[in-house]
Amino acid sequence: MRSRVRQEQSAQPLIYQSQIEALSAGCFKDPFSFLGPHKINDSRYEVRCFLPGATMVSVVMGSQQIAAQRQGESDLFVATIDCTSVPEYQLDVSYADKASHRHYDEYSFASTLDEQAMYLFNEGSLEHAYRHLGAHFTTQQGVEGVRFTVWAPNASSVSVIGEFNFWQRQRHFMRFHPASGVWELFIAGLKEDQCYKFAITTLMGEVLDKADPFAFKMQQAPGTASVLHASKATVKLDEHALKNRAKRNSIESPISIYEVHAGSWQRRDDSSRYLTWRELADNLIPYTKALGFTHLQLMPISEYPFDGSWGYQPVGLFAVTSRYGSFDDFVYFVQQCHEANLGIILDWVPGHFPSDPHGLHRFDGSHLYEHADIRQGFHPDWNTYIYNYDRAEVRSFLIANAMYWLHEFGIDGLRVDAVASMLYLDYSREEGQWVANQYGGRENLGAIECLKQVNLRCYANNPGIMMVAEESTAWPGVTRHVEHDGLGFGYKWNMGWMNDSLHYMQRDPLYRAHHHHEMTFSMVYAYSENYVLPLSHDEVVHGKGSLIEKMPGDDWQKFANLRAYYAFMWAHPGKKLLFMGAEFAQRREWNHDQSLDWHLLEHTSHRGVQETIKALNKVYCNTPALYEQDTSPAGFAWLDSNNSAQSIFSFIRYAKQADDFVVVVSNLTPQVYHDYVIGVPKAGRYQVILNTDKPEFFGSGVEVTSDPEQIILTQNMLNHGFTQSVVVSLPGLATVYLKKVSDES
C-alpha cells in the first residue's frame, strides 16, 4: 500500500453537526456509514471516532501517529490520512484522568454475519441460533475479540454497553442488517466475565437496557447483566454413551425419575448456603443411585431472577444459573451423571417469561417475543408473558434453546413445563378474554407447530433422548409421531392417574369402597399415550401438604398407606417420577428456601419408607414384567378390579416373554385377610418378591406365607378365570408382588 500521512488542522465549522447530535443522544442507526475509515477521494481517507470522555486521540499506523482533531466541543474526533486503500490502524486515546488506552477501532471491522444462518433464523428453523446470536469470543481480521449480535428489528438504535465502556450507550453503536432485523458489532480486546447489556433506543425514543437473550452466563439476582463467557467444548458423548442413553430412555426400559430442586435438596452452613454443582455431584448422584433411581430430573436451571419462581420464570434461557457455581461446574455435574449411568433430565419452560425490565418483554420497544394482543400474550395466572409462537424468529429461539441443552451438554431429555397452557388459547381465561384461531377454534396453532418442530428437530439431531410433556388435559396424540398428526413427545405425565389415585388415598379406608373407580379408571386410557406417573413438586406445595400428611389415619396407618401406594404406583403401567423428600416421607410441605428434613431419617418410620423406595426400584429394574410392556395391552390384565367391598386391587403385569409375569395385590384397608385366594395363569412355585408390610419397612410384619423362603405353591382351584390359584395372607394397608420362579408344584 502506498501511503503518505499528513496532519491537517481544521478551522472549518462543524460539518457533522447532525451526526454529532445523534451520536451524543445515543441514537445512531447506521454507525458504519459515518464512523471508522471513509474514503474522501482516490488518495485520502478520513477516520472518524466518537469517544465520550476522550481528551486526545491519535490514529496509530505502525510507528506513525496521526493526531485526530476534535470537532468543536464534541466527542467526535477526525483524522485525515493520505492513502489509497483502507489503512490498518489502532486508536491511541487519552482521557481527562491522564489514563491512555490503545485499542482497535470497532468501525474498521467488516461484518461477519452469516446471511444464510440469518435466513434460517427469520424462517424459524435455525437449530443452532445460539452459535450466531449473542456474544461470542472470536478472531476477526486477525484480531481477538467478541462479536455481539442481537435481534431487535424495530429499534432505532442499539449499543453494546458494559464494564468495558462504563455503560455508555454513546460508545459502541451496532451495525443494523435490515434484511434480518439483526444488529452486530465486533469489539476487540474484551475479557471473560465482563458484564454487558444492549442499550436499545425504541422508535419512540425510549431507552431500554436489555440482557442478552442468548447469553451463556448472567449475573445472579439482584444483578441483571449478561456476562461474557468463552463457550468451550462441553459434554460430548461417544458411541458407547449414546447407546447407553438410547437404552436408558427407551419405552421398553425401566425409568424411575428422582425430581430435584437443586437449591433445597441439601444445604450447608446451617441451611443458608446452596450446594455447588460439584458438591451435588459428590452427594446427590451417589444418593440417587443408591436408591435405585435411573434418572435425575432437575427443576429449571436456566438463570432466573426470583427464587420463589423455582426457575419457572427464566430470563436467561441459555445461561446455567450461577446459584450453584460456574458453567464448568455444571458440565462436571453432567459428566458425573453420565459416568454413573444416571440419566439427567432438565425442566424446560417455553410457555412464558417474566416481566422483568431487563428481560424479553417489549425487547425493542415492540412486542417482539410476546404476542401483542394481551388476550394472547399475557398469562393471567402467573402475571407473565406468552411467547408469540406464530413468529418465525421466536420459534428459532425456542428450538435453538432446546437443542442447546441436549446437544451441547448431552442431556438425556427435557420435561416441557405447562404444555396445556401453550396448546389452548382459552387456557385459564373467561369468555371474552381470548381470541379464537383462524378457524374459530381454541387451539393455539402457532404453539402446536412450535412444539412439533422442537420435538422433530431434537429427536432427529439427538438420538436416544426423551422429550416429556407436562400436559394435564385430554389433548389427543401428545406422544404420537408428528407425521401421524401428533405433537411428537416421547412421554406424557399422567396427571389423571395422579389426581384420581391421590384423591382415593386421601380418603379414610372406611369410605374407599365408594370410590374404587378412582384407582381403576386410569386403565381405561392407559395405552392412549406413553405415560409417566408423576408424584411431583406440584403435589407438595401451596397448602397441599406433604404426601405422608395426605394419608389418613394414625401415624402407623399414614406410613402403611404411603408404602402401599408407592408399590401400587411402581406396578402400574407407566414410568415413575417421585419428588425429593417423598422417598423418606418428608412431613412438611416443600419449602424452596430450606433443606429437606434429613433428620427425619433418625426415625425407623421414615427410614422404612426410604428402604421401601430402594426395594421398589431394585425389583422394578430387575423385573421386565413391570416395565417392558408399559404401552401395550398385552402387558397388563386385571385379576379383580371390582373388589370394592374389601378395597383390594389385583392384577398381573406381563413381560414380552409370555411366561414372565408378576402378580400384584394391594389391600388398601387396615384389615388383614387370611386365606385369600388369587387365581394365577400358571401352576408352579411363586415367590413373594415384595411385601410393604415387612418390619424393615416399618410394617407390622404380617407374612404373606409362613414359608421361610417366601415360596407359595399353586393349588388346583378355579379363581379369577384361572384353574390354578395361590392362597395367601394379605397384610392390611399393604401391596404384595408375587413372581413365578419355577413350574414345580
According to DSSP, residue 338 is labeled H
Q: In whole angstroms, what is the distance from residue 464 CA to residue 412 CA?
A: 8
Q: In whole angstroms, what is the distance from residue 279 CA to residue 16 CA?
A: 59
| Maximum distance among all Cα pairs of the chain, rounded to whole angstroms | 116
Reference 336, options 416, 277, 389; nearest CA is 277
Q: What is the pLDDT of residue 10?
A: 43
pLDDT, tens digit (0-9, with 9 covering 90-100), for 270-323: 778 999 999 999 999 999 999 999 999 999 999 999 999 999 999 999 999 999
Angle between helices 277-290 and 327-339 (to 10 degrees): 20
Q: What is the pLDDT of residue 108?
A: 95
* Peptide linkage before 87 cis (omega within 30 of 0): no
Q: What is the pLDDT of residue 304?
A: 96
pLDDT, tens digit (0-9, with 9 covering 90-100), for 504-546: 999 999 999 999 999 999 999 999 999 999 999 999 999 999 9
Q: In whole angstroms, what is the distance from residue 242 CA to residue 238 CA?
A: 6
H or E element that contains 159: strand 157-162
Q: In the chain, helix, strand, coil percent, each to 5?
A: 30, 30, 45
3-state secondary structure 352-396: CECCCCCCCCCCCCCCCCECCCHHHHEECCCCEECECCCCHHHHH
Q: What is the pLDDT of residue 11?
A: 42
3-state SS, residue 654 = strand
Q: In whole angstroms, what is the distance from residue 266 CA to residue 264 CA?
A: 5
Q: What is the pLDDT of residue 12?
A: 46
The answer to whether residues 658 and 700 touch, using CB atoms and an 8 Å cutoff, is no
Q: What's the grid cell of residue 443? A: 387451539
Residues belonging to the active site: 417, 470
Which residues lie closer than 8 Å to 707 by C-beta, 6 or more apart?
none
Reference 221, options 385, 350, 356, 379; nearest CA is 356
Q: What is the pLDDT of residue 265?
A: 97
The answer to whether residues 289 and 342 touch, using CB atoms and an 8 Å cutoff, is yes
* Cα-Cα end-to-end distance for the chain: 100
Record the pTM. 0.95
Q: In whole angstroms, what is the distance from residue 674 CA to residue 200 CA?
A: 76
Q: In whole angstroms, what is the distance from residue 542 CA to residue 388 CA?
A: 30
Q: Which stretches within 629-742 are classed as H helix? A: none
Q: What is the pLDDT of residue 745?
A: 60
> Over the range 497-506, which residues count as b (16 or more CB within 10 Å of their CB) and which as e?
bbebbbebbe
> Over the range 696-717, which residues count as b (16 or more CB within 10 Å of their CB) and which as e?
ebbbbebebbeeeeeebebeee
Q: What is the pLDDT of residue 9?
A: 40
Reference 572, options 148, 339, 256, 325; nearest CA is 256
Q: What's the grid cell of residue 383? A: 402475571
Q: What is the pLDDT of residue 629?
A: 97
**Ranges in the chain, pLDDT < 50:** 1-12
Ordered domains of the chain (ranges, CATH): 3-108 (2.60.40.10), 115-227 (2.60.40.10), 255-348+393-417+461-624 (3.20.20.80), 632-742 (2.60.40.1180)
